[in-house]
Amino acid sequence: MSARPSSSASTHRARTSSTPVPRAPLEQLIYSLVPSLAPHRSHRYSADVRSGRSSVASSRPVSRADVEEEERERRDRVKELVEWCEEIMASRASSVQSARTDGRVNESGSERALRFNGTWSKLEKGRLLSSPLPHLQFLLALSEYDPSNTPRPPVATSSPIPSSSRSMPPPPMPRIFPSNQPSSSRIPLNETQAGNVPTLELDVKGKSKADVLKAWRTSKSQPPFPPHLLLRDSLYLLQGIDGRYIRFALSPPKEQNPYLTEKGKAGEGAGFPLGKEGTPAVVDQGGEEEEEVDGYVTKPTRTLLMQISELGMLYRRVTHFISTRQTTDRKGGMTEQSLCHFLHHELSEYHRLLAVLESQMNMTSTDDEDKPAEGAGLTLMRLGLWTEEMKLKLKQMSLVVDEAKNAHGGALVSKIHSHTSHGDPLIRRFTDQILEEVSKPFFATLQRWIFSGDLQDPFKEFFVQLNPENISLRDGRISPAGDVGFEGGIDAAGGLEEAHKVWEKKYVFVKKMVPGFVSEDFGKKIFSTGRSLNFIRYSCGDSDWIETQAKLANAGRALKYSDLAGLERSIDDAYSIASQRLLEIFFDKFVLLDHLRALKSYLMLGAGDFTELLMEALAPRLSKPAISLYRHHLTSDLESAIRGSNAQFDSPDILRRLDARILEYSHGETGWDCFALEYKVEAPLNAVLDSRAMVDYDRLFHHLWRLKRVEVALTQGWMRVTSGSKLYERIPGLSNDWHHCRIVQAEMVHFLRQLQAFYQLEVIECSWQALMEFVNKREGDLDALISAHRGYLSRVVKKVLLLSTKRDKEEILLDTVREALDYILQFRDATDDLYGWSLAEATRLDRERDAERGLYTLPTTDSQDLAANQLNAIRSRIRTCSNAFQDRIISICHLAGSHSDLDVRFLAIRIAWNGHYALRKSRGTAGAGGIGGSGGGGGHGGSKSTRDRERDR
Which residues, listed in sequence order, are joined to residue 662 by a DSSP beta bridge?
675
Would the pLDDT of 189 be above 50? Answer: no
Taking a C-beta distance cutoff of 8 angstroms, is the pair 665, 520 a contact? no
Give the whole-angstrom CA distance, residue 645 versus residue 609: 6
DSSP code for 87: H
Q: Contact at 8 Å (CB) between 793 and 696? A: yes
Give Rg (Cα) of the chain.
57
Question: Which residues does residue 509 pair with via DSSP β-bridges, in sequence order?
Answer: 464
Calpha distance 689→786 (Å, rounded): 8
Measured distance CA(87)–CA(93) in Å, rounded = 10
Nearest C-alpha neighbor of 157 from the set 202, 213, 92, 84 = 92
* Rounded Cα distance, 546 and 530, in Å: 11
Could you tell me which residues come within 8 angstroms of residue 542 by beta carbon, excluding any fewer than 6 positions away? 536, 581, 585
pLDDT class for 16, splitting at 50, 70, 90?
very low
- Got the DSSP string for 679-693? E---TTGGGTS-HHH
Mean pLDDT is lowest, of 150-154, 453-457, 741-745, for 150-154
Whole-Å CA distances, 943 to 237, 731, 870, 930: 119, 15, 20, 10
Residue 187 CA to residue 200 CA, distance in Å, equals 23
Range from 251-255, 370-374, 545-549 that averages highest in pLDDT:
545-549
Residue 945 burial (CB count, 10 A)? 20
Instruction: Name the pLDDT band for 541 (thresholds 50, 70, 90).
Output: confident
Q: In the predicted model, is pLDDT for residue 297 greater than 70? A: yes
Sign of the alpha-carbon dihedral angle for 410, 416, 419, 420: negative
SS3 per residue for 146-167: CCCCCCCCCCCCCCCCCHHHHH
pLDDT band, very low/low/confident/very high, at 119 (cuts 50, 70, 90): low
Burial of residue 327, with CB atoms counted within 10 A of its CB: 0-12 exposed, 13-18 middle, 19 or more buried: exposed
Query: In the structure, what pLDDT confidence band is assigned to residue 98 with cuts at 50, 70 and 90?
Result: very low
More confident: 622 or 328: 622
Residue type, 420: T
- Give yes or no for residue 321 having a pLDDT over 70: yes
For residues 405 and 317, the answer to whether their CB atoms sit within 8 Å is no
- Which residues, 6 or more positions from 205, have their beta carbon under 8 angstroms from its beta carbon? none
For 559, residues 6+ apart whose C-beta sits below 8 A from its C-beta are 443, 446, 447, 566, 567, 570
Contact (Cβ atoms closer than 8 angstroms) between residue 673 and residue 482: no
- For residues 918-942, average pLDDT: 45
Mean pLDDT of the 170-198 span: 41
Q: Full-prediction pTM beyond 0.85?
A: no
Q: Angle at Cα 267 formed by Cα 264 and Cα 271, nearest 5°?
A: 150
Poorest-confidence range of 36-45, 91-100, 324-333, 433-442?
A: 91-100
Q: Give which of 567, 578, 465, 463 is closest to 529, Cα–Cα.
A: 578
**In sequence order, which residues have a C-beta less than 8 Å from that of residue 277 and are 6 or more positions away?**
296
Instruction: Compare 842 and 592 and report the one with higher pLDDT.
Output: 592
Q: What is the DSSP letter of 296?
A: B
Digit-coded pLDDT (tens) for 685-725: 989 998 899 999 999 999 999 999 999 999 988 888 887 66
The pair phi, psi for residue 410, each rounded to 5°, is -65, -30
CA distance 500 to 693: 11
* Inter-axis angle of helices 520-538 and 782-800, nearest 10: 90
pLDDT for residue 905 is more than 50: yes
- Write down the pLDDT at residue 284: 41
662 in helix, strand or coil? strand
User: Residue 7: pLDDT above 50?
Assistant: no
**Residue 130 confidence (pLDDT):** 57
- Helices within 484-630 (DSSP H only): 495-500, 520-538, 543-554, 564-584, 592-598, 608-622
Q: Of 870, 878, 869, which Cα lies nearest the Cα of 830? A: 878
Q: Give the CA distances from residue 63 to residues 75, 701, 728, 942, in Å, rounded to whole numbers and listed in that order.
A: 19, 134, 160, 150
**Of 431, 425, 393, which is closest to residue 516 (Cα–Cα)?**
431
pLDDT digits (tens, 9 = 90+) for 765-795: 999 999 999 999 988 889 999 999 999 999 9
- Integer Cα distance of 42 and 48 in angstroms: 10
350 within 8 A of 270, measured Cβ to Cβ: no
pLDDT tens-digit profile of 872-902?
899 999 999 999 999 999 999 999 988 888 9
Q: What confidence tier does 261 reach under pLDDT thresholds 50, 70, 90?
A: low
Q: Which residues, 6+ apart, have CB-to-CB distance to 181 below 8 Å? A: none
Q: What is the pLDDT of residues 435-452, one digit of tens each?
A: 999 999 999 999 999 998
Kindly state the DSSP code that residue 756 receives in the 8-state scheme: H
Whether the CB-CB separation of 584 and 775 falls below 8 Å is answered with no
Residue 95: what pLDDT?
46
Segment 539-546 long-range contacts (CB within 8 Å, at least 24 positions apart): 539/486, 539/490, 539/499, 539/502, 539/503, 539/683, 539/684, 539/687, 540/582, 540/585, 540/589, 540/590, 540/684, 541/489, 542/581, 542/585, 545/581, 546/452, 546/453
Q: Name, in order, each residue with C-beta under 8 angstroms of 97's C-beta and a sequence gap of 6 or more.
A: 157, 158, 159, 188, 190
Furthest CA-CA distance within the chain: 192
Euclidean distance between the first and the last CA atom of the chain, given in angstroms as a whole number: 143
Q: State the Cα–Cα distance between residues 304 and 321, nearest whole angstrom.
A: 27
**Local confidence band at 8 (pLDDT 50, 70, 90 cut-offs):** very low
What's the pLDDT score for residue 706? 94
DSSP codes of every residue in 474-516: GTT---TTS--TTTT---SSSHHHHHHIIIIISEEE-GGGS-T
Say if CB 825 and CB 713 are below 8 A apart.
yes
pLDDT band at 86 (very low <50, low <70, confident <90, very high): confident
d(CA 808, CA 811): 8
Residue 174 has pLDDT above 80, yes or no: no
The predicted pLDDT at position 539 comes to: 86
Helical (H) or strand (E) element with 196:
helix 189-196
Closest listed residue to residue 462, CA positions, set 515, 425, 533: 515
- Answer for the pair 516, 436: CB distance below 8 angstroms, yes or no: no
Report the amino acid identity of residue 685: L
SS3 content of the chain, % helix, strand, coil (to 5): 65, 5, 30
Distance CA 547, CA 756 (A): 52
- Answer yes or no: is pLDDT of 188 > 50: no
With bands split at pLDDT 50, 70 and 90, how would you rate the model's confidence at 603? very high
